[in-house]
Structure 1
């Protein structure tokens, strides 16, 4: 049985595109940076050098070789503290090469969406992420992968529908 590539390896193997749809109002609230930011928003700079954060370094690496990375976030308004934190940090994602858009949940009611957040790699592999009700990665298995054509089509169609309606990061202001 072949060993599945790690999450990081999936990005390194990607040739054209990686898209991510986020649909929760909070993630990993135990993250020390979020805890610090919650107490003092000035304690976490909005723009960080990629070499200081492994995720940003990986995004810089793959986008510099021509892979398009798009992230769309569906969220409730007024925005949760955690999403305000993510909005605060998004300039670093953009500087590392990601393209980010925001869609208020009320504007997504008529869209058919998968039940979980996902990454879609080169329109051929969907990786679903599973979280607890508190936004932590699920201890029962934090991911699920699918290459089923119907699943890929659902994820691709859902992402593109959200992307079309969503507001580019540089234009969105939290309320």
Structure 2
């Protein structure tokens, strides 16, 4: 496996030709740039952030604009964690940027891998690494066919169970 950090991870998307798929399995994340938005959400304060203008949303618009399909499945515990409730409130900006994001309640998901990962063009898997405090710590990248095949199978199984973001949002209590 190859360890990549920061801007090198963006190159995985830039080299992607057809599809980037992300599996998310954590109920909470410790991303420093999200802490203020989460704090405001939990305090019931308006959030002045335009999430559609975040660098990630702009990067996804560029990626999708090149003809790359970007899909995610979020496996979530119900009732939702505070973090997931907040994420549900801002995911509309990711969808507007071109991502197809879907949800599977954990109790319907069956056996789920313990780690988040990206699958690029059904050829490369990049595992999202976190430190012991849950902060992002880079990606471990492999093209090992056995690992890629396993991730493809997980993707296909969970995608078949997943509910599109808008439908999921309309079907759950986010309080």
**Which TM bucket (shorter chain)?**
0.7 to 0.9
CA distance in 1 between partners of 2:157 and 2:54 (Å)? 31
| Farther-moved stretch of structure 1 (55-64 vs 127-136) | 127-136
Corresponding residue of 2:38: 34
Q: Kindly indicate which of the two structures has a greater share of residues assigned to strand.
A: 2
> Is the 8 Å Cα contact of residues 29 and 35 (structure 1) preserved in structure 2?
no
Corresponding residue of 1:136: 135
Q: Kindly indicate which of the two structures has a greater share of residues assigned to helix.
A: 2
Corresponding residue of 1:156: 152
CA distance in 2 between partners of 1:41 and 1:163 (Å)? 34
SS of 2:63's equivalent in the other structure is helix
Ranges of 4+ aligned residues in structure 1 off by more than 6 Å: 2-5
CA distance in 2 between partners of 1:23 and 1:66 (Å)? 26
CA distance in 2 between partners of 1:133 and 1:83 (Å)? 20
Number of residue pairs aligned between Structure 1 and Structure 2 = 166
Q: How does 1:1-175 map to 2 (within 5 A)?
A: 6-28=8-30, 30=32, 31-40=35-44, 42-43=46-47, 48-49=51-52, 52-109=53-110, 111=111, 113-132=112-131, 134-138=133-137, 142-173=138-169, 174-175=172-173
Higher relative contact order (CA 8 A, sep 6+): 2
Q: Structure 2: which 5+ residue stretches go unaligned?
A: none
CA distance in 2 between partners of 1:41 and 1:144 (Å)? 37
CA distance in 1 between partners of 2:98 and 2:18 (Å)? 14
TM-score for the superposition, normalised by structure 1 = 0.86
| Per-residue Cα deviation, 1:83-107 (whole angstroms, up to 9, x for no partner) | 0111111110000000010000000
